[in-house]
Amino acid sequence: MESAKQLSNQIPEAQAGRRARLFFIAFVLIGVLGVWIRVYPSAGFTGLGYDEGLYRGYVTDLINHGITSYPDFAEHYVEQQQKLAAVILPPTRFLYIFSAYLWHEITGADALLSLHRVSCLFSILLLFAAAGFAWRLAGPGWALAVFALMSCAPTQIHMAQHALIDGFFAFWATICLWLLWENLKRPSDPLRLTLFGVGLALMVLTKENAVFAYVGVLALLAANRWLHFGTITRTLLLVTVAGPLAGLVILIFLCGSAETFIMTYRLVVSKAAVLPYAIATGDGPWYRYLVDLLLASPLIFLLAWAAIFRLKFADKQSLYLLTFVAATYLVMCNIRYGMNLRYTNMWDMPLRYLAFGCLSDMTRSFRRQHLLLAIAVLLLCAFDLRQYYIFFVQHDLYELVTAGLLRALQILK
């Protein structure tokens, strides 16, 4: 009898060990695939993009003159931008530029290659951050699914192939979203509060789009009154204000004066509104982003949309992510001449989490749910890779505007 009991106890332990090994193998294989897809140069467009040329110029100036000359770059930008009819990217996107400069200092790579490598690195880091965030939200099974779906996300791969800032920014926005969740669930933890404040500051140092993500953070704090994601403390509110303020102070210091900093953003806003390319491609109705997301990754978008109608109040994790996406969407869809699918990179993890949630809910009554979910996730990954091939390999897209997406899909001839 005793040996029979021991044997029955050993069987579940053996099954658990086998599952753990399979999970580890799957995680490693997905990680290798996700990294390889991003590192391998697959993009059809191999020229120099407009944004890439400007970033290369800033990094080259930093290499030639050093970090102490940054106020001179800002003043020169203001002088130059006042004379130009069209907007050029501001030097206040410091963290991306400085990261490429550090890459150059460590590896000796030229400015453009350093920018490419930084974009690729942070696309990879975002892939693993998304998996970690999903693990903290719902456990290892969900983490593995989100990890797989993110590894094949078309726009994520595209960001890794070019010297573009949006994937870099999406990493910091996702990190801030994750750290806010951690602080709501575990209030008054000094380490988590510090990391959250630093994350917000670094997000502000990355790009002016930090305003959109910050609105999402504030919306989550406000919605916590009714949705009860966790506990809000005075210290958390203080850090939520102090983090971005620290980023602003650093930017003002880098610009040399508050006057130069304010003038820089005034010129960006005023000149962007009259840029012919932005007028031609950056406008549209409030549902413009819905159309673009449907074109870029239709199955993920439709599943995430369906998940909204299946949400339950008890599903705090999905409500948390949905609130962030909805709040940022509300701001972003009202920016005249300022809409571009590249800006939605910070939604990729939430949308894929919601999409998998919908799949999990739909297959709940099936006996072999795990097998069905695995097959569904593999099919979604294959479809997204096909979308990447169509857009960025076969049709050489660089800018993610609606007309280009429609032509690539042969909706427009």
Q: How far apart are CA 180 and CA 172, in angstroms?
A: 12
> Residue 141, Cβ neighbours under 10 Å: how many?
16
What is the per-residue pLDDT across 89-123, written as a single tens digit (0 to 9) for each?
A: 889 999 999 999 999 999 999 999 999 999 999 99
In a domain, 110, yes or no: yes
Structure token digits, residue 307: 């998940």
Q: Give the residue-averaged pLDDT of 8-27.
A: 76
Query: Burial of 402 by CB count in 10 Å (0-12 exposed, 13-18 middle, 19+ buried)?
Result: buried
The confidence score (pLDDT) of residue 89 equals 86
Better-scored residue on pLDDT, 168 or 80: 168
Does residue 209 have a pLDDT over 60?
yes
Q: What is the pTM assigned to this prediction?
A: 0.94
Does residue 285 have a pLDDT over 70?
yes
Give the CA angle between residues 132, 138, 142 to the nearest 5°. 70
In a domain, 8, yes or no: no
User: Which of 132-141, 209-218, 257-266, 294-303 is least confident?
Assistant: 257-266
In 306-388, beta strands by DSSP E: none
Query: Burial of 101 by CB count in 10 Å (0-12 exposed, 13-18 middle, 19+ buried)?
Result: buried
Instruction: Show Cβ contacts of residue 220 under 8 Å, excluding neighbours closer than 6 positions.
Output: 180, 229, 320, 323, 324, 327
Helix (H, G, I), strand (E, B) or coil at 142: helix
Closest CA to 289 of 242, 248, 332: 332
> Residue 315, Cβ neighbours under 10 Å: how many?
16
Structure token digits, residue 354: 């919601």
What single string gives the DSSP state of each residue in 67-99? GGGHHHHHHHHHHHHHH-SS----TT-HHHHHH
The confidence score (pLDDT) of residue 18 equals 81
Own/partner contacts of 51-57, CB < 8 Å, gap of 24 or more, are: 51/89, 51/163, 51/164, 51/165, 52/112, 52/115, 52/162, 52/163, 52/164, 54/88, 54/89, 55/89, 55/93, 55/96, 55/97, 55/100, 55/115, 55/163, 55/165, 56/111, 56/112, 56/115, 56/163, 57/111
| Helix/strand number for the chain, H first, E second | 19, 0
Does residue 271 have a pLDDT over 80?
no
pLDDT classification of 377: cutoffs 50, 70, 90: very high
pLDDT classification of 3: cutoffs 50, 70, 90: low
Q: Is the dihedral of CA 300, 306, 310, 314 positive or negative?
A: positive
pLDDT classification of 86: cutoffs 50, 70, 90: confident
Instruction: Show Cβ contacts of residue 146 under 8 Å, excluding neighbours closer than 6 positions.
Output: 130, 131, 133, 134, 349, 352, 353, 356
Q: How far apart are CA 268 and CA 369, in angstroms?
A: 51
The boundaries of the domain holding residue 150 are: 37-408
CB 119 within 8 A of CB 126: no
In a domain, 24, yes or no: no
Does residue 7 have a pLDDT over 70?
no
Does residue 66 have a pLDDT over 50?
yes
Q: What is the length of the chain?
A: 413
CB 210 within 8 A of CB 203: yes
CB 119 within 8 A of CB 164: yes
Mean pLDDT across the chain: 93
94-107 and 111-138 helices, crossing angle to 10°: 110
> Residue 393, Cβ neighbours under 10 Å: how many?
14
In a domain, 9, yes or no: no
In a domain, 263, yes or no: yes
Structure token digits, residue 300: 């993920």
Instruction: Show Cβ contacts of residue 83 under 8 Å, excluding neighbours closer than 6 positions.
Output: none
In a domain, 93, yes or no: yes
In a domain, 19, yes or no: no
The confidence score (pLDDT) of residue 10 equals 55
CB 164 within 8 A of CB 52: yes
Better-scored residue on pLDDT, 5 or 244: 244
Q: In this prediction, what percent of the chain has a pLDDT beyond 70?
A: 97
In a domain, 68, yes or no: yes
How many domains are there within the chain?
Answer: 1
